[in-house]
Amino acid sequence: MSKSKSDIVVALDIGTTKVCAIAGRLNDYGKLEILGIGKVDSPGVLRGVVSNIEKTVQAIEDAYAILLRQLKDEEIKVVHVGIAGQHIKSLQHRGIITRDTDDEIRQEDIDRLVNDMYKLVLPPGDKIIHVIPQEYTVDNEQGIHEPIGMSGVRLEANFHIITGQISATKNISKCVERADLNVASLTLEPIASALSVLSEEEKEAGIALVDIGGGTTDLAIFHEGIIRHTAVIPFGGNVITKDIKEGCTVMLHQAEKLKVKFGSALSNEVYDNRVITIPGIGGRDPKEISEKNLARIIEARIEEIFDHVYFEIRRSGLERQLKAGGIVLTGGGALLKNIEKLVEFHTGMPTRLGIPIDCLGHGYAEKVASPIYATAIGLLLHGIEHNEKYGIVEEEEDVLEKVESEFEEEDDNNFFNKIFKKTKEWFEAEPDKEIR
């Protein structure tokens, strides 16, 4: 495949612990080819929400600069961005439209039904991010997944609607634009992660994707191939680190290293006599920490997180449907030792680690074969789908010119349509009875 600029898609994962810019494209075999990765720390994001504009802009610029060097300075200014955070909420709603005729249902009818959902009245400060159809009903015929081509007058659908705060989405867009980039699409991060780590069979059987990030834990539940429930739990890997800091009375950076290098989610799997020695502060004596106690601190917090996850699974009403597929763990927090065993014990559901390798081309798995990159690769896949559906987004000036010209054409057409309509009404008008 020749390397053309139009083939390349860039995704931006703005997380609590990292900002990751990744570029890729599909190869001749439909697999993802990774062309470059730029990853830096994220000091300006707290629990998935931008808390410092300047630091976040700087992190985006740094990550993009690293990526650009790997792309041989081939600039692509349009990026597909992920959104998460505890402000994300979801709701269910039902939409109905009545068609003028009973001929075949077309895509335009589906679009009209979806667009009606965007007119829902939401709490002040919220906006709709995604409108996801569940099942359709055509003239009281229920359980239809593909209504296009069917005949019917009354078209109904259940929708899963994901909302977020306007200020949070604007702040993400502002950071990206100030880094001299354009936002092509904004996608909920657990939906993106699902694209990279879940198979179609798992989505059909019923599965819960749990993305344990630095600031939040994101949940997405699938059944019969459709996303049924989403939730954001305001606990993540950073809370575990703070627990270790307080419980072991160490510095925050030391707590993070203890978690990553020696942490275990199951205290029963750790020997009692293992001790970790860390340097003392300011020339003080070295500090000894029991590996068993470290595991107990981590286990307590992981259990609390999955109490919330299990509550959301029960609230969705899909607990029984997940017995076959179970739970898939991804995100940086999924790298904790023995976390799969703990989740299985705690929830009673089969659990596996979600690593984004099935969608990758040969030779690229080593670079990104980690749950840390699940969201970034999912955003890449979503970006490719977005470009295939809507076309590649042009530069901002070109888009503005195109929109302006379309408005001018529309105004001209409206003017001539009005003249035509008035003329037609004049000719078709009935003669006045008083005129002989």
Which tens digit of pLDDT belongs to each residue from 183-205? 998 999 999 999 999 999 999 99
- Kindly report, residue by residue over 15-49, the tens digit of the pLDDT: 888 999 999 888 888 888 888 899 999 888 888 88
Looking at residue 3, what is its pLDDT? 46
CATH topology of domain 89-165: Dna Ligase; domain 1 (3.30.1490)
Q: At residue 175, does pLDDT exceed 80?
A: yes
Handedness of CA 203, 386, 389, 135 (dihedral sign): positive
CATH topology of domain 237-299: Nucleotidyltransferase; domain 5 (3.30.420)
339-347 and 291-316 helices cross at what angle (nearest 10)?
50
Looking at residue 71, what is its pLDDT? 85
Q: Which residues pair with 336 in a beta bridge?
A: none
Cα–Cα distance measured from residue 2 to residue 8, given in angstroms and rounded to the nearest whole number: 11
Cα–Cα distance measured from residue 318 to residue 254, given in angstroms and rounded to the nearest whole number: 40
Looking at residue 398, what is its pLDDT? 42
Looking at residue 48, what is its pLDDT? 81
- Kindly report, residue by residue over 277-293, the tens digit of the pLDDT: 888 777 788 888 899 99
Looking at residue 163, what is its pLDDT? 93
Sheet with 226-233, edge to edge strand ranges: 226-233, 217-223, 207-212, 327-330, 351-353
Structure-token pair, residue 412: 């001209």
Model's pTM, two decimal places? 0.82
Q: At residue 361, does pLDDT exceed 90?
A: no
Q: Which residues pair with 230 in a beta bridge?
A: 220
Confidence of residue 388 (pLDDT cuts 50, 70, 90): confident
- Which of these, 297, 188, 193, 194, lies nearest to 248 by C-alpha position? 297
Q: At residue 65, does pLDDT exceed 80?
A: yes
Task: Specify whether the CB–CB gap between 90 and 163 falls below 8 A.
Answer: yes
Structure-token pair, residue 372: 């840390």
Q: At residue 416, does pLDDT exceed 80?
A: no
| Residues of the chain by 3-state class (helix, strand, coil), percent to 5 | 45, 30, 30
Domain spans of the chain?
A: 89-165, 237-299
Helix (H, G, I), strand (E, B) or coil at 414: helix
Structure-token pair, residue 348: 């009673």
